[in-house]
Amino acid sequence: MTRDNVSSAASDYPARADAPEPRFGCPRCGSEDIHGVSTTYVSYPITAWDEDGMPVGFGNPEYGDGDEFDTYECRDCLRKGGVDLAEFAFLQPVRLA
Ligand SMILES: [Zn+2]
């Protein structure tokens, strides 16, 4: 489903003004201080090489789509000392309300 499909579907069924906003949080601690993490694809045309085959010259970067989140991280779990990804990152938040 594309973004256009999502937005047109949303306008077909406007949310009721009194409907509560859905709330999601960290599956570990329930915090709602969640950040989406995305990887932005950037590629550079290589314009020059050194004798060993290492690129030494680059053209203008080309950017891929970076508008989808790869994962999420909980800032509260990070503040509590999470070091490994497994301690603060997750693929899907849990619904709180
Ligand atoms: Zn957390």
Per the structure, how many domains does the chain have? Answer: 1
- At residue 4, the pLDDT reads 46
> Does residue 9 sit within a domain?
no
Query: SS3 for 8?
Result: helix
Q: How far is the CA of 56 from the centre of ligand 1 (A)?
A: 42
Residue 12 lies inside a defined structural domain of this protein: no
**DSSP letter (8 states) at residue 6:** H
64 found inside a domain: yes
Expressed in angstroms and rounded, the spacing between residue 31 Cα and the centre of ligand 1 is 5
The string over 12-29, giving b where at least 16 C-beta atoms fall within 10 Å of a residue's C-beta and e elsewhere, is eeeeeeeeeeeeebbebe
Q: Answer with the residue of higher pLDDT: 30 or 20.
A: 30
- Cα of 12 vs centre of ligand 1, distance in Å, is 35
Contact 58, 49 (CB under 8 A): no
| Within a domain: 57 | yes
- Report pLDDT digits (tens) over 53-83: 999 999 999 888 766 778 999 999 999 998 8
Question: For residue 22, how far is its CA from the centre of ligand 1 (angstroms)?
Answer: 18
Which domain does 65 fall in, by range? 18-95
Contact 30, 96 (CB under 8 A): yes
74 CA from centroid of ligand 1 (Å) = 5
Does residue 29 fall inside a structural domain? yes
With cut-offs at 50, 70 and 90, classify the pLDDT of residue 86: confident
| Residue 5 included in any domain | no
Residue 3 lies in a domain: no
Q: Do the domain assignments include residue 83?
A: yes
Closest-CA residue to 3 (of 68, 72, 62): 68
- Kindly give the distance from the C-alpha atom of residue 69 to the centroid of ligand 1, in angstroms, as a whole number: 17
More confidently predicted of 16 and 71: 71
The whole-model pTM stands at 0.57
